[in-house]
Structures are given as structure tokens and as C-alpha cells.
Amino acid sequence: MKILSQLFYLLIFKCKEMDNQNLFSQSYNQILASVAGTGNKNFQMLGNPIDFSWPVAPIGEMSPIAYQLMSAMPEYSLVGCYSAGDARVFDSYCRVMSHITYKVSPEKQNDLQKLKDQYTKANNDLQTITTNMNSAYQVAKQNGGAVFTAMYPDIAAWLAGPGSTYKNDIEKQTQLVKQYQDQYVSLAADICIDQKLKEDFDIIKTPTAPISGPAPKGWTKVPNSDGVLEWQPVFNIGTTGQDWRAKLSSGSIGAFKVQLNASKSDSNFDQKWAGGSAGYDAFFWGVHGSGGWKRTNITESDQSVTAEIEVKSSTWVPVTPGSWYDGGLMTDLANNKDGYGAKITQPWVANGGPGSQSIFGQYGILKTRITGFVVAYKPSYNIDMQSSTYSKFEQEIQAGGGLRIGPFTFGGHGGSHKIEVHQTGNRTQLSGGSTSDDPLIIGMTVAFPGVAEEFIKGQKEEAKSYV
């Protein structure tokens, strides 16, 4: 795979702290109640919202950006900072399938174990290269300061320049992992005795059918960075992008408001999502410049700041993996039941703690998968602050090409942004809104493979929409 967004190593970065946790908490709770649903505890709000701007793909294909988003495996956190996805759900699922035992012909056992060892080693080497690459980028970023950040605002930009050696190494190692993966699942499908498990192995083999023909069951076509079509495991989305726009722009369905007050706190924030951490590198206030989004913390010295975000309309769009994914088998394995005669191979465990060789759960190979996108349309804002605070940040706010408030962006890459400023006594009010016709993905709902599977009724069929 040549496209960077389809490689294993592009990350959802886990970081040490998050500013304005009280404001993130207020936003999270109100969005959860308004859109995601108060009964859905597995909502992950995005600290860096994503413009839904991918194009409509031809029949039988999927947009690379759509594939990249739907196939990601979010980290355990209330707030996520999306970059391009850590290990893909499909890649992690295939690794799980290599850590189970099942009945095979005795004479083929050694051949299977040899391929499994090669596949495991290749995966381990890929993770080592990934760790080294990420460390090198972080060191370069710390040493390079603002100049480095302006030149390489994200790791993808760095990989296209000074980090190209890591890019090349990971591309080659990724191909090797894919080679051993296909060899392993092909042999497993041939020699496995249980028919259902045989089918599960067979469907995750990379198709050998001509790319010009119809897609085999469980697969779709996705262009790489050179525009060349490649087989990728299919993910199903509830509606097309055009349908989203039509639905959201037609009225006020799902309209809601978020009220923010820097002086108030919400102490229950870190207890809401799977016992996971809220500590990701997400900044609540930001401006957009030539180097991308930049932190600008107006509440650092002004706890009197209040804001209201009004969303014209919103919706939730379901996402499910295609027929290559056997959620029933994952649940059986997680519960230590025989899944078609399969069990987890020791020393691996179903769901262990830190440092364990865990298959599922927070520390497992297959942690999460996306079940839907929470989408907002045409957000607008009003911010009230001390005039002295505005004077301190006026230049960067006015010079910036956009404004970020938690999970909402105004301007930047999507649409234009015009700020209106009013002053009353020693208070200054800012108001503005998004002019973009693209919906904004402000979060996603998440399921936990094996532990808490959530299939959306009617969404198990292969995707028929153009995404």
C-alpha cells in the first residue's frame, strides 16, 4: 500500500495532559445528551473535529478518506485527537485470528506454526519501527520549536520530508506483514476442520481477483496515493455524504446548543467512558494559521469567559465492518468459550491489564471499533470575555484563518470565517459561524470487540452507497 493514510503507523496520539478539562467536560456532556444519546456511554468527542469533505466515489469504490476514517481503531479516551488512525480494525482483527488455536490436520501443524511465527515477528518488527519513528518525530519537534511546527504541522508532513527513511522502512515492512498474513490465513483456511472458521479465514485473504472486476464478498476498491485501485476490507456507512448534506441542510433537525462557562467544573468527566483516560493532547481554544491549528488559551487567566455554540442541525451516522468481521466469534473468544472450536492461544488472554498479552479491552490488540459518526452542521458561536483578555489575544484571533472551540471549528480548512466584535463596558463579545456546506464530524460512537459488540440493525449487508 502506497498511500500513507492506509499504513499501520499513522497515529491517534495519546498525550499527557489536556487543558480546559472543565470546558471539554461541559461540551462532552451536552453533546452526549443532544446527539449521541444519554444512554450511549461510548461516545468519543474529537479534540480536532474533521470536515466531512470527501468526494462521492464511483460505483464499487470507496473514497480513501472515508475508508481511513471508518476503519480506524480509536484509543480508550473520552476525547480523541484524530490523525489518521492507529492500527486498523482489520489489521488488528487479523492479528487476533493468528492468536487462536483450532483443530487442524496434524501433518500441517508445523507448517502453520512456522507461518504464524513469521507473521508475528514481522508485526513485532513493524511496531518497533513505528515506535522509533514516533520517538524521532517527537524529538525533532521538541528541538525544532515553532519553525519545525510551521514546516511540519503533523507527522505525515515530516514523513514526506526529513522522515522519509522511516516512511520507506515502514512501507516495506508493512508489505512483508501483509505477505505473511495472507500466507497464514490462506493455509489456515485450507487445513481448518471447522467449516465456519474456515470461511472466516478465507474471507480475510486479500483477493486475487482482477481489480477491474466485481468486488469479492467483504471487500471494496480504494484508490492509493497514486490513484491506483487496491482491494481493502469494506466498511458500511448508513448514508452517503450527499445524503448527509441534504438531510442536514434541509432544516433544523437535531439542532442543539452548548453552554460553556470557564468558572464551572464537571467532576464526572473522566468516569464516563470505559474507564479510560481523558488525558489527550487536545486544546480547547485555537486559531488557524499557515502552520495549521495553534493553541491559544484565552481562559488561562480569565475564568469569567463564557460561550454558547449553536448548531443548526445534527445527526448520527452508523458505521459497521463488512462481512469479513465475525463479531460472534470475537465475543466467544472474549468469554473464553469455544468459537467454532477455537480458543485463545496461551500466553495470550482475553482481557488483561497493563503489560499483559491481551486480545481485547483497553490493553488488547483489538480494543475498539467505530460504530457511528456524530455530525454537526453550520455551528455558530458567541464568546464573552474581559476586554483585557481580548486585547491580549486580539492580533492572533483576527489574523487567524479560523477559530476552534473544543470539538467545533469555524473557518480554517472548511469555509470562510468572519468575526464580529462588540464591546460593552469592560466586556468584549465575539460572534461568528461556519460558512462551510460540509458537515463537521465532532465525535464518534465506539464499540468494544468481544467485550461489548454493537451491530446496527440492517447494516450487516455489503455497502451499496458511494462513499
User: What's CA 397's distance to the chain center, in Å?
Assistant: 29
Q: How far apart are CA 124 and CA 298, in angstroms?
A: 43
pLDDT band at 458 (very low <50, low <70, confident <90, very high): very low
* Residue-range definition of the domain harbouring residue 30: 17-83+239-447
- Look up residue 36 and give its DSSP letter: I
Looking at the chain, the whole-number percentage of residues with pLDDT higher than 90 is 37
Residue 427: predicted pLDDT: 97
Identify whether 167 is part of a domain: no
Using the predicted structure, report yes or no on whether residue 322 has a pLDDT greater than 90: yes
**Backbone φ and ψ of 460, nearest 5°:** -85, -15
Q: How far apart are CA 308 and CA 396, in angstroms?
A: 21
Average pLDDT of the segment spanning 80-102: 82
Q: How far apart are CA 381 and CA 408, in angstroms?
A: 10
pLDDT band at 362 (very low <50, low <70, confident <90, very high): confident
Report the alpha-carbon angle 388-389-392, nearest 5.
Answer: 90
Identify whether 345 is part of a domain: yes
Identify whether 325 is part of a domain: yes
Cis peptide leading into 439, omega within 30 of 0? no
Number of domains in the chain: 1
Find out whether 437 and 245 touch, Cβ atoms under 8 Å: yes
pLDDT, tens only, 210-234: 999 999 999 999 998 788 999 999 9
Please provide the average confidence, as pLDDT, over all residues in the chain.
Answer: 82
| DSSP H stretches of helix in 250-346 | 327-334
Residue 83: predicted pLDDT: 63
pLDDT, tens only, 422-446: 999 999 999 998 888 888 899 988 8
Residue 251: predicted pLDDT: 67
DSSP 62-104: --HHHHHHHT----SBSEE--SS-SS-HHHHHHHHHTTEE--B
Residue 235: predicted pLDDT: 92
pLDDT, tens only, 377-425: 899 999 999 999 999 999 988 887 889 999 998 986 655 677 899 999 9
Identify whether 170 is part of a domain: no
Using the predicted structure, report yes or no on whether residue 463 has a pLDDT greater than 50: no
Residue 87: predicted pLDDT: 65
Identify whether 109 is part of a domain: no
